[in-house]
């Protein structure tokens, strides 16, 4: 028995070693070096962070990134939840059609989807043309390179993800629980508020984490729709690394990103687990 267990452990290790090595060598070690490098500067352990936070421009970038991410998350959660609710309650054929229609944009790349908004929001874009045509304005609005153009494109990016995540969550709520609620006299709205919503909260949190971390660390969308004027953490990091060759500065931003991601994921998954009654 002991020999067999040892053999199994050996086999298990053997089979998982290549992938383990890959993750350790090419992910954990390089990222650890990036993080560690920010604490090994001459001016003191926290010098790069002092430099980051004493720069008004960089503080503004961090603040803007947080604003954009929070707005994107809030809008995506509300829009995604309501849509997912309708999708999950739709009859079979319509439901699969709606799911496919949400998967398609998700499988289409970030660049393509962000680029689409360039055509829509540009000075000669269709939205401005339309507004001029119906006479709302005779001068096209400068919609591109604003904070909200980034938010709109990011919401566009993340709503399908939110919808698909939440459809899965809502489908996991057993039919008979919903029926039990109705049989006890709860109106459809009461059932939604008292049964479906509370049961979907853990899933909402997971979705929100995905959207927040995704938008907080994004590059392509803010680059295309925000440009230099609406610099965010991602674009600033690229600029520090590849234009200014300021590797310490870029590493500092990278570390802040990792810290925020880890903190958000840990806090939210804890909360989700605590709120998830199905786990016990």
Partner 1 sequence: MTNRLHPALIGFTILVYLFLMGPLVIVFGAALSDTTYLTFPPQGLTLHWFQNIFEISAFRRTIVTSLQIAFLATAIALVIGIPAAYALNRYRIQLPAWLSTLFVLPILVPEIVLGFSLLRSVAVDASVPIFLALLIGHTLLVLPYCVRVISASLASFDFSIEEAAVSLGSPPAKTFFTIVLPNVRSGVIAAFILAFITSINDVSVSLFLTGPGISTLPIQILAHVEQFFDPTIASVSVLLMLLTVAVMAIVERTLGLTFLAK
Partner 2 sequence: MTYPLTVEHLTAHYGTSKVLDDLSLNVAAGELVSLLGASGCGKTTTLRLIAGFLEPTSGSITLGGRDLTKLPAHKRHIGLVFQNYALFPHLSVRDNVAFGLKQRGVAGEERNRRAGAMLERVGLAELADRLPGALSGGQKQRVALARALVIEPPLLMFDEPLSNLDAKLRIDMRVEIRQLQRANGTTSVYVTHDQEEAFSISDRVAIMNQGRIMQLDTPEALYQRPANAFVARFVGFENLIAMKVARREGENVTAEAAGGVTLTLSQARFGEIPDEFVLGTRADGLVVDADPQADGIPATLGLRTYLGRAYQYQCETPAGHLLANGALSAPLESGSTARLVPVPDQCCILRPE
129 binds partner 2 (CB under 8 A): no
With respect to partner 1, which residue has the nearer C-beta, 67 or 171? Answer: 171
From partner 2, partner 1, none, interface partner of 159 (C-beta below 5 to 8 A by class):
partner 1
Please provide the DSSP assignment of the chain as one string.
-HHHHHHHHHHHHHHHHHHHHHHIIIIIHHHHHHHHHTT--TT-TTHHHHHHHH-HHHHHHHHHHHHHHHHHHHHHHHHHHHHHHHHHHS-HHHHHHHHHHHHHHHHS-HHHHHHHHHHHHSTTSHHHHHHHHTTS-SS----TTSHHHHHHHHHHHHHHHHHHHHHHHHHTS-HHHHHHHHHTT--HHHHIIIIIHHHHHHHHHHHHHHHHHHHHT--HHHHHHTTTTT--HHHHHHIIIIIS--HHHHHHHHHHHHHHHHHHHHHHHHHHHHH-GGG-
Point out which span in 56-64, 66-74, 103-111, 133-141 binds partner 1 (CB under 8 A). Answer: 103-111
End-to-end CA gap in the chain: 33
CA distance 72 to 207: 12
Within 168-197, the residues that bind partner 2 by CB under 8 A are 174, 176-177, 179-188, 190-191, 194-195
Placement of tokens 């002092």 in the chain? 50
Residue from 223, 230, 239, 252 in contact with partner 1 (CB under 8 A): 223
Residue 12, interface with partner 1 (CB under 8 A)?
yes
Among 178, 195, 204, 205, binds partner 1 (CB under 8 A): 178
Q: Contact 218/154 with Cβ under 8 angstroms?
A: yes
Among residues 56 and 278, whose Cβ is nearest to partner 1?
A: 278
Cβ atoms of 88 and 259 within 8 Å: the answer is no
200 binds partner 1 (CB under 8 A): no
Q: Does 198 bind partner 2 (CB under 8 A)?
A: yes
Tell how far CA 228 is from the center of its chain: 22
CB of 206 to partner 2, least distance (A): 16
Q: Are 165 and 203 in contact (CB under 8 A)?
A: yes
With binding defined as CB under 8 A, does residue 31 bind partner 1?
Answer: yes
Minimal distance in Å, beta carbon 278 to partner 1?
17
Binding mask 36-75 for partner 1 (x = CB under 8 A): ----------------------------------------
Can residue 103 be called a binding residue for partner 1 (CB under 8 A)? yes
Nearest approach in angstroms of CB 66 to partner 1 is 15
Name the segment binding partner 1 (CB under 8 A); options: 2-10, 54-62, 143-151, 200-208.
Answer: 2-10
Task: Please select the residue that binds partner 1; options are 150, 167, 204, 208, rule is CB under 8 A.
Answer: 167
Q: Does 138 participate in binding partner 2 (rule CB under 8 A)?
A: no
From 47-55, 57-65, 81-89, 142-150, span contacting partner 1 (CB under 8 A):
81-89
Point out which residues bind partner 2 (CB under 8 A): 174, 176-177, 179-188, 190-191, 194-195, 198-199, 277-280
């Amino acid at each position: 028995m002991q020999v067999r267990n040892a053999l199994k452990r050996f086999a298990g290790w053997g089979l998982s070693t290549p992938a383990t090595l890959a993750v350790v060598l090419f992910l954990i070690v390089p990222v650890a070096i990036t993080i560690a490098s920010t604490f090994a500067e001459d001016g003191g352990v926290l010098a790069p962070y002092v430099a980051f936070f004493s720069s008004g421009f960089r503080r503004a970038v961090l603040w803007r990134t947080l604003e954009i991410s929070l707005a994107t998350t809030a809008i995506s959660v509300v829009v995604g939840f309501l849509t997912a609710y309708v999708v999950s309650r739709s009859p079979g054929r319509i439901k699969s059609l709606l799911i496919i229609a949400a998967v398609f944009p998700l499988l289409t790349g970030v660049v393509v989807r962000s680029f689409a908004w360039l055509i829509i929001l540009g000075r000669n874009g269709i939205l401005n043309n339309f507004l001029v045509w119906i006479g709302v304005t005779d001068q096209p609005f400068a919609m591109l390179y604003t904070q909200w153009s980034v938010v709109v494109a990011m919401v566009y990016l993340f709503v399908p993800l939110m919808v698909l995540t939440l459809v899965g969550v809502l489908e996991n709520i057993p039919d008979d629980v919903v029926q039990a609620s109705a049989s006890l006299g709860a109106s459809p709205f009461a059932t939604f508020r008292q049964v479906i919503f509370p049961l979907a909260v853990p899933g909402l949190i997971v979705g929100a984490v995905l959207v927040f971390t995704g938008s907080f660390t994004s590059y392509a969308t803010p680059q295309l729709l925000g440009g230099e004027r609406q610099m965010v953490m991602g674009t600033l990091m690229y600029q520090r690394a590849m234009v200014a060759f300021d590797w310490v500065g870029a590493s500092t931003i990278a570390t802040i990103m990792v810290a925020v991601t880890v903190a958000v994921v840990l806090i939210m998954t804890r909360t989700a687990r605590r709120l998830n009654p199905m786990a016990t």
